[in-house]
Amino acid sequence: MLAVDPLTLVAFIPAAVALNLTPGADMMFCLGQGLRGGWRAAIAAALGITLGCFVHVLIAGLGLGVVVATVPWLFDVIRWVGVGYLLWLAWGAIRHGALAPDLPPVSPRRAFREALVVNLTNPKVILFVLAFLPQFVRPERGPVLVQFVVLGAILAFGGLIVNGAVGIFAGGARRLFMGSRAVQRGLGAVSAAIFTALALRLAFLQRS
């Protein structure tokens, strides 16, 4: 017997695609990484976010997400760590000029690491998983954790495709302006603005 009912998948996949196509923090982060490091960094960032989402799915499936949802101080600790990290990235983009010709672009490894940390320090992802995935889980079909993993993998893979495509587009825009130092600095400022906006969004996040 399949872990997830085929009829459930018919309902889940369109909903997951719609969610992945909705602009959000993950998409904007991949956009920023594409501007900073090109398409390779963008793909690496999308992979980092995908891994982070999958970790959140496992946490939710194991029931640990309930702890984050019900313990206010733990939620806030994780949230403010994420805010601080995003602001640090924004400051780095401004200080180093991000795309200045005499400085190396962000490496794929670094983009992957930054994306993973940003995703893992966003407790709202856990709460979203807890609110969204259980609607499609059927305990009578078997282990709930297995269903969480299957559904989470579908959701994460869709996000990888969409976020990667956005990042590749941003990487292409970066290549077009490689010859202009002023434009490169401007793109670096845009990257810093994206990170700052994400930090503010996380700072004013509500648990409800």
Q: What mean pLDDT is predicted for residues 130-157?
A: 82
Average predicted confidence (pLDDT) for the chain? 79
Q: What is the pLDDT of residue 137?
A: 78
Residue 20 has pLDDT above 90, yes or no: no
Q: What is the pLDDT of residue 3?
A: 66
Q: What mean pLDDT is predicted for residues 12-24?
A: 82
pLDDT in tens, 37-79: 888 999 999 999 999 998 988 888 887 666 766 677 777 777 7
* Cα 150 to chain centroid, rounded: 19
Q: What is the pLDDT of residue 115?
A: 92
Query: How much of the chain, in percent, has pLDDT values that exceed 90?
Result: 13
Residue 124 has pLDDT above 80, yes or no: no
Closest CA to 84 of 207, 185, 198: 198
Closest CA to 121 of 130, 133, 113: 113
Residue 172 has pLDDT above 50, yes or no: yes
Q: What is the pLDDT of residue 194?
A: 77
What pTM did the predictor assign?
A: 0.75
Q: Which long-range contacts (CB under 8 A, 24 or more apart) does 65-69 make?
A: 65/126, 65/127, 65/129, 65/130, 66/130, 68/123, 68/126, 68/127, 69/126, 69/127, 69/130, 69/207
Query: How much of the chain, in percent, has pLDDT values that exceed 70?
Result: 81
Q: What mean pLDDT is predicted for residues 119-139?
A: 79
Q: What is the pLDDT of residue 84?
A: 84
Count of other CB atoms within 10 angstroms of residue 188 = 23
Q: What is the pLDDT of residue 92?
A: 74
Q: What is the pLDDT of residue 173?
A: 74
d(CA 45, CA 28): 11
Q: Which of 88-92, 138-142, 148-152 has the highest mean pLDDT?
A: 148-152
